[in-house]
Amino acid sequence: MIKLWHSTSVRIALAYVALVIVAGFGLSAIIWWRTTSYLDQEIDAVIISDAQAVGDGLRDFGMIGAISTINSRIKATADEHAVYLLTDPLMVPQAGNLDAWPLKLSHGSGWYEISLVRNNKLHATRLLHVVLPDGFHLLVGRDVQDRVAIRLLVINALIWTAIAAILLAIGGGILVRNIVLKRVATINETTNAIVHGDLARRMPAPHSSDEFDQLVRTINGMLDQIQLLVEGARNTSDAIAHDLRTPLAELRSRLESIMRDQLSPEATKEAVSDAVEAVDNLIEIFNALLRLADIKSGTRRAAFRAVELSQVAHDVLELFGPLLEGKQINLKLDARQGISVEGDPHLLAQALTNLLDNAIKFTPQGGTITVRLSKRDPANAELAVLDSGPGIPAHERERVTRQFQRGEATAGTPGVGLGLSLVEAVANLHHGVLLLADNAPGLAASLVLPTAA
């Protein structure tokens, strides 16, 4: 059984119909009030005119003139709605078309609206009671039963219109409910599939301006972000489990050998120092993985602001100045001023630091490292680090940006293979890309980022 009241669309439709009915009744009441006011004014004007005519006859010819005026008006007019009655002080009828003074009417002069029996039927009647000289009473009125009939007709029409509107609202609500349920069923089916582990499931979203399609596109975007976060956490845990197993096993073996072998104090101290260095290396890997997961989560976008890239480049190069002097490496800065991006200055500085660190590792003494900032095109900036080292072969460039992946030329150099992964994550967070190219000789690593508006 369909529980219509539990349907939002039906409730909205009924509420809208209730509003329309209230507005309709209010409008009808205003129209009816203005119409009846006009009709009452017209009826009152006719009654007053009749009463004045009788009064004129009374003034000119006495009571005989008043009676004559009433009789002539009854005989001459075909208006069956007119009511006349002239009585003496004892309320005995002297002239008119009423048989007796109405019991519902008091003896005071003024306006009245009562029901009178005419032609064996009750008729609403509007009357004017005038007290004439010598205690005579004059009653002049009009039958207004037609107005009552029109009012009942209007009320019945409004009632039937309200019933029809309610039925149409329920039917329309059910129709809308069925349409909405089809769309909601698709959303429920997709979300249930995601709950059961199918994170790649998405809802079909036609390219239209329909509100549901806009909602679906928003939900799909949210699901993409959730999938990215879940896969990032999964990849991080897999990387920790896979790539740290061997170093932890080696550290455990080294500590066991210290416990098992009878080493001299100097040898024991050296072995413990090596173990501490291995622990420091593991901590560095953990910190890099956590930093990488934080960047990929996208939460850092909340701190984005306009960043002047030339200032970032100057700040980072100041830190590397002493190190480059010790290795006798020439450092050049070619930074164009006035290039800004929307981003996190700390992450951009971290990415440039990683690129410079890699360049320093592989640039021989007497080599050259160039940091260049320029406009790649009207909408994008390019922050590039160019070195004169061995470079990265073309077939390795895609692989070295993955976590814990290193090129063949990096054998024997310190590092765990997370530097370029972090740079690429920073580029993606800023809606940019990391490009690796041949510098002939050396490597050209470029961060291409959209410029700020």
Mapping DSSP onto H, E and C, the string for 8-28 reads HHHHHHHHHHHHHHHHHHHHH
Alpha carbons 172 and 427: distance in angstroms, whole number? 51
Between the CA of residue 36 and those of 29, 151, 183, 227, 392, what are the distances in Å? 10, 9, 52, 70, 96
Q: Is the pLDDT of residue 409 over 60?
A: no
Is the preceding peptide bond at 441 cis, omega within 30 degrees of 0? yes
| CA 301 – CA 263 distance, rounded (Å) | 54
pLDDT tens by residue, 196-227? 877 778 877 666 666 777 777 888 888 887 77
Long-range contacts of 58-61 (CB under 8 A, 24+ apart): 58/132, 58/133
| Whether 56 contacts 69, CB under 8 Å | yes
Cβ–Cβ < 8 Å for 13, 94: no
Please give the single-letter amino acid code of residue 252. R
- 451 confidence band (pLDDT: 50, 70, 90): confident
Query: Can you give the pLDDT at residue 162?
Result: 76
Pair type for strands 121-131 and 93-96: unpaired
Cβ atoms 175, 16 nearer than 8 A: no
Is the separation of the CB atoms in 388 and 368 below 8 Å?
yes
Query: Do the strands 330-335 and 368-377 form a parallel or antiparallel pair, or are they unpaired?
Result: parallel
Amino acid type, 305 = R
- pLDDT greater at residue 229 or residue 345: 345
Banded pLDDT at 232 (limits 50, 70, 90): low
> Do residues 93 and 115 touch, judged by C-beta distance below 8 A?
no
Segment among 243-252, 381-390, 402-411, 444-453 with least mean pLDDT: 402-411
Chain CA centroid to CA 435, Å: 38
Q: Which amino acid, 373?
A: L
Beta strands across the sheet bearing 443-450: 330-335, 368-377, 380-386, 443-450, 433-438
Dihedral (Cα; 90, 96, 102, 106), 10-degree rounding: -60
Question: What's residue 73's pLDDT?
Answer: 83
DSSP classification of residue 90: T
Q: Is 246 left (phi over 0), alpha (psi -120 to 50) or beta?
A: alpha
Phi/psi-derived region of residue 412, left when phi > 0, alpha when psi is between -120 and 50, beta in every other case: left
The token duo for 333 is 């800065």
In the numeric block, the tokens 């009924």 are attached to 14
What is the arithmetic mean of pLDDT over 258-273? 79
pLDDT score of 360: 85
**Residue range 184-195: mean pLDDT, rounded:** 81
Predicted confidence at residue 412, as pLDDT, reads 47
What integer is the mean pLDDT of 138-161? 81
Chain position carrying tokens 């765990």: 416
pLDDT of residue 326: 67
Give CA–CA dist 320/266, Å, rounded.
36
Is 2:178 a contact under the CB 8 Å cutoff? no
What pLDDT shows up at residue 1?
40
CA count, 13 A, side-chain hemisphere, 286: 9
pTM: 0.47
For the chain, give the percent of residues with pLDDT over 90. 0
pLDDT greater than 80 at residue 403? no
Least confident of 130-144, 248-262, 281-295: 281-295
Is the pLDDT at 233 greater than 70? The verdict is: no
Q: Which two tokens stand for residue 400?
A: 């070295």
Provide mean pLDDT across the span 225-246. Answer: 68
> Over the Cα atoms of the chain, what is R_g?
49
- The beta-strand segments (E) located in 12-157 are 82-87, 93-96, 110-118, 121-131, 137-143
DSSP E strands in 304-426: the ranges are 305-308, 330-335, 340-343, 368-377, 380-386
pLDDT at 237: 67
Q: What b/e sequence results for 258-288 when a residue is b if at least 16 CB atoms lie within 10 Å of its CB, and e otherwise?
A: eeeeeeeeeeeeebeeebeebeebbeebeeb
CB 216 within 8 A of CB 187: yes
**40, two tokens:** 């009452």
The token pair that represents 431 in the structure block: 């809606």
In this predicted structure, what is the pLDDT of residue 106?
74
Q: Where are the alpha helices (H) located in 81-210, listed in sequence order?
A: 145-195
The H-or-E segment that residue 79 falls in is: none
Cβ atoms of 318 and 331 within 8 Å: the answer is: no
- Tell me what pLDDT residue 426 has: 85
The chain-wide mean pLDDT, for the chain, equals 79
